[in-house]
C-alpha cells in the first residue's frame, strides 16, 4: 500500500500550495491514501468547515489536527459529522469528534490515528497509553492492513520514544507541529517508518510559517500581544511517502516529499 502524508498546512499560501501540487503528487506517486495535517490551515490557527472541504476536494482523504483543533469554534459541529476529520485521540472523554478512524482502500483497511504529545504541550491524557489501548482492538494483519499515526508533539525525544515503543506494530509514526522537516526519516528495526517531523505546507521565508516581523518582535520585546499572521509567499509542500508490505503492513520503502517554495525539492516518483 502506498501512503502520502503531508505536514501542517499553514494559512492561505499553504492551502494554495496543496491545491496546486497534490493532484500532481497523486499522479506521480499513485498513493492509495493521502493524510494531511490541517490544524493551522485557517489563517494559521485552526480549521474551518469550508477549508476542510477544500482540502478534501484537493485530494486529501483524511485530515488530522492538533493543539489548534478548537481555535475555530465552527469546526465543533462539523467534526461530529465528518469521520474523515480527526482530532487528537488523547483528548478527555466527551470531547467532540474522534481520534482515530478505519478507512477503506479498495479491499484493504487503514487505521489512521491522531495523537498529541504532552511535553511542552497541553496536559492531555497520555498518548502512549491511549494508542496502546486502541491497538488492543486493532492490529496489522488482524483488523487492518496498515496503521498510520500522526503524533502532534513539540519534543523530538517524545516522538522518538513513541515510535520505538510501537515499532513493529504500526506502519508509520510521523511527527507534526514543529513545522520543520527533519532529516531522520528511516525504517526502524521492527519495520515501522518514522520521521520526527514531516515539516509544514507553508512559506518557509518565515518563522515556522508566520510573518517574520511580528514573530521576531515577540522575542525582542517579549510582548505576547504582538500580531502574528501567516507568511504569504510561495509555500513548500512537505511530507513523507511510505510504501507498506501487503503481507505484513510494515514499511518497506519511504522517502521525504518537498515541492515548491524555497526548500530543496525531494520526491520519489517511482
The whole-angstrom separation of Cα 265 and Cα 69 is 30
The whole-angstrom separation of Cα 16 and Cα 41 is 10
Query: Quick one: average pLDDT of 119-142?
Result: 97
Residues counted in the chain: 270
Confidence of residue 223 (pLDDT cuts 50, 70, 90): confident
Query: Catalytic residue numbers?
Result: 68
> Tell me, which fold does domain 2-259 have in CATH?
Purple Acid Phosphatase; chain A, domain 2 (3.60.21)
Give the model's pLDDT for residue 270: 45
Residue 219 burial by CB count (10 A; 0-12/13-18/19+): exposed, middle or buried? exposed
Confidence of residue 226 (pLDDT cuts 50, 70, 90): low
The whole-angstrom separation of Cα 117 and Cα 191 is 22
Over residues 150-186, the pLDDT tens digits come to 999 999 999 999 999 999 999 999 999 999 999 999 9
Give the model's pLDDT for residue 225: 63
Over residues 6-23, the pLDDT tens digits come to 999 999 999 999 999 999
Q: What is the CA radius of gyration of the chain?
A: 17
Give the model's pLDDT for residue 221: 83
What are the boundaries of each domain within the chain? 2-259
Residues 6+ apart with CB under 8 A from 104: none
8 A C-beta contact, residue 35 and residue 148:
yes
Give the model's pLDDT for residue 218: 83
The whole-angstrom separation of Cα 69 and Cα 98 is 12
Torsional sign, CA 84, 187, 265, 229: positive
Amino acid at each position: 500500500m502506498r501512503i502520502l502524508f503531508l505536514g501542517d498546512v499553514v494559512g492561505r499560501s499553504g492551502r494554495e500550495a496543496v491545491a496546486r501540487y497534490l493532484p500532481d503528487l497523486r499522479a506521480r506517486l499513485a498513493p492509495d491514501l493521502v493524510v494531511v495535517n490541517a490544524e493551522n490551515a485557517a489563517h494559521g490557527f485552526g480549521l474551518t468547515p469550508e477549508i476542510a472541504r477544500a482540502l478534501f476536494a484537493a485530494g486529501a482523504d483524511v485530515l488530522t489536527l492538533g493543539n489548534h483543533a478548537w481555535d475555530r469554534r465552527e469546526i465543533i459541529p462539523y467534526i461530529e459529522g465528518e469521520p474523515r476529520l480527526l482530532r487528537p485521540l488523547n483528548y478527555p472523554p466527551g470531547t467532540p469528534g474522534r481520534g482515530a478512524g478505519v478507512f477503506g482502500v479498495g479491499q484493504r483497511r487503514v487505521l489512521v490515528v491522531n495523537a498529541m504529545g504532552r511535553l511542552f504541550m497541553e496536559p492531555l491524557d497520555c498518548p502512549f497509553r491511549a494508542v496502546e489501548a486502541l491497538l488492543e482492538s486493532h492490529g496489522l494483519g488482524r483488523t487492518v492492513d496498515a496503521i498510520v499515526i500522526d503524533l502532534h508533539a513539540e519534543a523530538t525525544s517524545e516522538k522518538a520514544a513513541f515510535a520505538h515503543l510501537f515499532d513493529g506494530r504500526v506502519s508509520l509514526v510521523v511527527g507534526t507541529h514543529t513545522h520543520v522537516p527533519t532529516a531522520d526519516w528511516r525504517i526502524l528495526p521492527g519495520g515501522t517508518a518514522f520521521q520526527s517531523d514531516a515539516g509544514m505546507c507553508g512559506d518557509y521565508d518565515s518563522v515556522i510559517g508566520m510573518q517574520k516581523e511580528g514573530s521576531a518582535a515577540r522575542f525582542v520585546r517579549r510582548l505576547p500581544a504582538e500580531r502574528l499572521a501567516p507568511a504569504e509567499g510561495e509555500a513548500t509542500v512537505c511530507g513523507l511517502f511510505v510504501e507498506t508490505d501487503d503481507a505484513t503492513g510494515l514499511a518497506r520503502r519511504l522517502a521525504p516529499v518537498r515541492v515548491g517554495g524555497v526548500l530543496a525539492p525531494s520526491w520519489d516518483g517511482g
